[in-house]
Structure 1
Amino acid sequence: MLSLEWITLITQALFLTAVPLVAGLFGKLTSDLIYLVAGWVVFTLLISVARSGGWKPKWLERVTVAVDVGVGLALIGFSDPQWSPLWWSLLVGPLRVGIATGLPNMLATTGLGIAGSAVMSVILGGGNFLVLIPVGIFGGVLILAAMIIGLPMEKVRRIARDEQWSQTPVDSENSDRELQRTHTIFSIAAELNATLNFDRVLDLSLDLCARALAETGSADNRLVSSLFLFDEGKLHIASARRLRHTDWNVSLAGKSGVVAEALDTGVPCISHDPGHDPEIRYLRALGECNVALVLSLSSTLRTFGILLLAHPDTSFFSDERVNLLEIIARQIVVALQNAKLYQELEQEKERITEIQDETRKKIARDLHDGPTQTIAAIAMTINFARRLMERDPQSAADELKKVEDEARRTTREMRHMLFTLRPLILESRGLEAALFQLAKKMYETHRQEVIVEVEPGVAVDMDIGKQGVLFYIAEEAINNARKHAEAENIWVRLSRRGDQYALEIQDDGVGFNIGAVDANYEQRGSLGMVNMRERTELVNGEMHIKSAEGDGTCITVIVPSMEESIERLHRSGFTN
């Protein structure tokens, strides 16, 4: 039988899980926002416990909805009132109202939330009513979303009500058990998403699995549990309970047995003879276990690893327990994604700082080695020519001609530097024209031959951000080839391969040892390669380098043309 309270709890759990993830993706995750979400979780849990205990005064529902709307407004206020990525959080209160009383009240509550956000935006905007423009846009989208979500929700609500009226009285023990199970799932989701520390998530995961089984009457100190993560193509133990010391050295290939089945299908898989499984049999702690459960920890684009649990009792993993552990595994994946994203954001901050410092140093070196030296030479030549004016006018004229040539060369160098810093032609005429202009300036400034081959119209519908990234990758690769490869010719090719763009930079220079450069890359030494790789990652692309000493170099960058093609690219086997 459908339970409206159960639907409400699960819906709100999904919203609470999504808030830190979305805020992190848009760089809006702050300590204040985390505290606010944690308080929201505690409040929701207290209300749920009160309801399960039979305490349901009439005013409680109104207070709960008011708190939900108030927290939604606070989330928007903390994350930029005008362009917040968390506007959708205003739908939490209306959804609760819609499930309880129907679509009209849901739309009315949504309108109240939008009105509150308008007042808040005007106050925070210092009385500037222009801030109501984005509020109106987001408000219209929220109303439309409320209608789209509310129509099927109305049908679900009616079906649930009909079933409640038509069913005979439900056994109270089963009802309490179901509610306890829901509370367990909700509290586990809240605990996992309350931390962004990756190692802490790993430790929490197994403890919460054991606690969930204990709260559903399955506590047992004979349960063996472990969490494996992929590292260099193999599964290694990241956290475990009741494993033997020697088991920590065991790694799994994930190519056969129950582990491979779970990874391939994405569903929980049980082995009733773990001692003879081709992979997990090497774990000595499983020698006394007669059944093992493997759950894949994977999302659409990423597989983190597996969750492995084993027990001596062959009937321990009932359908109910497996279903509960599967839900927990999904929450673990969400928490791992959040923690990994936060970890990568912190690393990206450090990388950006390094790149900015290196860019400043590069500009300083270029100015010192180029225009500064030339201007100093010009000043000396002018001084020498001034002294020759009276004694030898012809020699003075020759010296002034040298000054003119140096000045023209310096002008070309400065124009080239300005072009690479901000190519205006890229903004006005697109990537194709910018690449041809880059080739022309490379020849004028450095006498370097660059041949550009572009499919007609290939970049017409390409996002301007991707065009900029590909231009700077091409510019970096050309400079590397000019400075280090001693190349006579450099080819730049831009084409489209189905739903992907392909940029290729090839030279006929001396080539290099890829292994040595990759080792240097790990030590953060080759900033040119670092820049190209990280720019490629910014547009969800893949970069491949093919080179050998004495045989030139070819760098290929593949960039998806649309969001739908990202997954296909990363699964195609085209890797660095």
Structure 2
Amino acid sequence: MNHGYGGPAISTENTRTDLSLDWLVSNLRWGWLVLIALYAGLEYYFTPQFSPNFQRLLLLLFVGIVLNSIYAGLLWARFFPPWLGLVTVILDIVFAVGLLLLLDHSLMLMLPLMIFPVLIGAGRFGAETGVLIIFPLIIGYGLRLIPLLQNNFTGDVVAESLFALASGSLVLFLAGVLPGIFVREWVRTSAQQNKAELEALRIENQRAKLISEMALTLGSTVDYRKVLRAMVDLAFSALAEVGRRDESVIGMVLLFEDDATRLTVAAGRNIARSDEGRRVPADQGLIGHTIHTAEATITNNVQKDRVLTSFASTPGCRSAICAPLRAGFTTYGVVLFLSTQPNFYQAEHKKLLTTFCSQAIIALQNAQLFEDLHREQQRILEKEAEARRKLARDLHDGPTQSIAAIAMRLNFIKMLVQNNETAKAYEELVKVEEIAHRTTHEIRTMLFAMRPVILETQGLVPALNQLADRLNVTEPFSVRVVNRGYDGQLSKDAEGVVFAIVEEAIGNAKKHAEASEILIALSADAERLVVEIKDNGVGFDVKKTISSYDQRTSLGLINMDERAQLVGGECTIDSARGKGTTVHLEIPFKKSGPESSAE
């Protein structure tokens, strides 16, 4: 592990491995020195007279101990460059040759002492180095034989010496070659493993990069169609990084739409035009198995899959891979890729496509949410436009014609009055009054049909909360909404009536009450909704105000009760001077529409 910033982690790991090998050699050298000490003790024990070589042997042993101690200190200090390893091998060779010259016993007994530098050199630097190390040792063997042959030059002695030299040389040769071959094979295997690991790391790095780019690309747009096209293209690019590349690969995104048993081709790559929008069963073949198991699936028998062969784009395809687009326990569709090459998709493709789909589904959900929101916005705008067109038609066909008729009759009445035809003028006034009443009813009916869009989309309580929020910003008084038990039991038309009455009550309080607080309280039981609009204003005389209502020009208080009656309800007002005002509205759940009232 590299804890700094100066270099890659792999070089630190290599240094640690080299030091571990040097520590092993140093520890083995301690064992070698102990074995040499044992041989020196045996030399002293079995030699009857004192040998001058014994003192030299002790001195050589002491030098070896000092050198190995220095090696251990350098290793402990983590300062052991590669060239120092070569120096230790050379010194080991010199040490071994010195032992050959100083020890007086049989050469075969000294063979274990000679093998150590050969094994270390071959293991560290290869078989060639091991063989090179053998030569100075064999020369040392030969020099060791010269005094023996000079003292006793007989046939048996010569034969025994040559056998010892040959057998020792053979053992040393095998000790130099075999570890070297083993190390070379180990190095080759390690190199292959390192290459495979580097390739795996490259693939993982490329995969991480692709996933990052995919997340960035998919997250940069909320356009539903662009997200679908990007999903196919990015998935193809990701799969192309693993194994062979096939530009003719066919890719599709199939989604559930309005039918939970069939999938629709929403986007594709290299597909025929006739496959765009094609609907296929979601419970058969490779696609059905993928959805059922919620796992990516590979098949190499596309020709036997009736769903896959039903596409116009798939003739000649032999292998396919399919992964689910799944979030939680909900499956939104699948991603499908097909290739004309046999056994094209492997486990790596499966793993990569699964990762891709788990990331892509988030972008797809966001795009779907944005698409639904855009569609809902368009629906609301169309509904508002249609409401305006309908209002214009109704005003033109109803009140506008009636008002024109009133104007014409008033002009006619003026002529009658000028001619002193009072009786006819009175009859015309009665007709004008009838037209005016009919026009008033028509206008009230149109007002009933007009209500805020939030009532259509979210209901009465959110609409009242929105109204309160707006008034709290623009008006000097505060408005608070309290709901106890109402959860949309009324029809949309009835909710529109309630909202209009609340608006009327707040408008009256704004004009006349001088209130600082207004409370809108809703409570519901099993049969009815009760709404109370309370203010802490100056209050008024209800009877007096209603009795003089025919002189007022606004819709006024009676208008609220007439609205309530349209949906089978009742609206009453409780107020007194100095005690504020409470508008009490009750609407039954079973009879909550203008149609019911009419009936």
How high is the TM-score relative to the length of structure 2? 0.40
Structure having the higher Rg: 2
The one of the two structures with greater contact order (alpha-carbon pairs below 8 A, sep at least 6) is 1
